[in-house]
Amino acid sequence: MPEARIIFDRVSKKFRRGEAHDSLRDLIPAITAGLFKTSRSQTPAREEFWALKDVSFEVRPGETLGIIGRNGAGKSTTLKLLTRILKPTSGRSEVHGRVGALIELAAGFHPDLTGRENVFLQGALMGMRRHQIEQRFDAIVDFAGVETFIDTQVKRYSSGMQARLGFSVAAHLDPDVLLIDEVLAVGDLTFQQKCYARLRQFRQSGIAIVFVSHNMQAISMLSDRVLYLRPQMPPEIGSVADMISAYVTTDAKGADSRVTVSSAQLRMNGSLLRDPVRPGADVALKVSLRSNADLPRSGFAIRIHRADGLLIFDGSSLLDGVPSQDLGVGDVVTYDVGFRANMLRGTYAVSGLLIDDKRLWSHVELGILGSLVVEETTRWGGIVEVEPRYIVRKGAGESGGPQGVG
């Protein structure tokens, strides 16, 4: 097994609110401000807090580690420690080999320079020699799609054009380690697909990648393992399915006080669903609850969202012809809902509602009742599994059966 390119061993990072001199950018303003303080100036109490606590992981060549968590969980702090912008309070952070960072894509651009001039400037900042930039210049410009404007000042570019050019420069660096912080939302869908394809090429060529994102679909597509950071709680590292499922489920809002959900399970073939499923698999949701209020004419609604928030399905028992139920205080009811997971690769949250067919009372939110991960098959991309069937006949007007069926 190849040696790890990234070693993060029991790393912790502590800050003080009101004072942070971990980088030169922070230190210079602090020193300047100190020169003008008077003796009567009051220094506010500085409370210490841990941005990271006892985090460990390794990433080997060709592996991608996804990092997820809420805002403030320490994701960006982790990348700053890996890029040596910050130093750990304790523990060991090592990165071996040439590092490429896709963090602030257009941070090195000078607005008064042209796109051409900024490509050379940005490349130099990333450690590329001039002849290396010249060799890759045409590919960089073509990938970014800014050929027409390459000799225009960057301040005339849209923010999307700047980001595309910044990504393209970084993507044509030859790193041993690649650090990515929420930058794959740049450009239109076509450009995003080019970004994903480029990152897959990096993985295949043996580059170790650390990828931070709030987009669970992207994490699911690109990661081999996932590190889940949670404020004030121990970090977890595990499979993509387990960690994304934990992230999605803990983001659920609690059920409405008008009901008490006693159990909610996703099952397949009679067993609790734990592993990723193939597109088209038959899945069952079982929900048991007690009513704490009178809910006449109620029906059960199911919604499925992809982890990035996209609504995949919204339907109800009432719309499908199932009779409504009159629920009173203390009534217990169980809903069994079977459905086919005709989705492509990704993580999906399943939520439920109680609804009134006369709309005389507001919907009762049951929150997220479970989540499932759909594994990839042979599809290039998309959202739904349409199960295509191919018939190919060679030669116009020829008799006989199809030449190929798939």
Query: Over the stretch 301-312, which tens digit does the pLDDT of each residue have?
Result: 999 988 777 889
Instruction: Write down the pLDDT at residue 33.
Output: 56
Which of 200, 210, 11 lies closest to 100 in space, CA to CA?
210
* pLDDT tens digit sequence for 245-281: 777 765 544 568 899 999 899 999 989 887 888 899 9
Q: Which residues contact 385 (CB under 8 A, 6 or more apart)?
A: 279, 280, 342, 343, 344, 379
Strands 295-306 and 346-356: antiparallel
Does 293 score more than 90 pLDDT?
A: yes
CATH code that applies to domain 252-374: 2.70.50.60
* pLDDT tens digit sequence for 356-391: 988 889 999 898 888 888 887 677 777 888 888 999
* pLDDT tens digit sequence for 157-200: 987 888 888 888 878 877 889 888 876 666 666 777 788 888 88
Residues making up the chain, counted from first to last: 406
Radius of gyration of the chain (CA): 26
The percent of the chain in helix, strand and coil, each rounded to the nearest 5, is 25, 35, 40
Our CA angle for 187, 135, 197, nearest 5°, is 35
CATH code that applies to domain 6-18+44-246: 3.40.50.300
* pLDDT tens digit sequence for 21-46: 555 455 555 555 555 555 444 444 45
Cα separation, 123 vs 140, in Å, equals: 11
Long-range contacts of 42-45, Cβ-Cβ distance < 8 Å, separation of 24 or more = 44/18
Does 98 score more than 60 pLDDT?
A: yes
Q: Per residue in 81-103, is it b (16+ CB within 10 Å) or e — as a string?
A: bbbebbebbebebebeeebbbbb
Q: Which residues contact 378 (CB under 8 A, 6 or more apart)?
A: none
**pLDDT (average), residues 313-334:** 95
Q: Facing residues of 335 across strands?
A: 287
**pLDDT (average), residues 208-235:** 86
CB 82 within 8 A of CB 93: yes
Instruction: Write down the pLDDT at residue 41.
Output: 46
Question: What are the extents of the domains in the chain?
Answer: 6-18+44-246, 252-374
Q: Which residues contact 28 (CB under 8 A, 6 or more apart)?
A: none
* pLDDT tens digit sequence for 144-154: 889 999 999 99
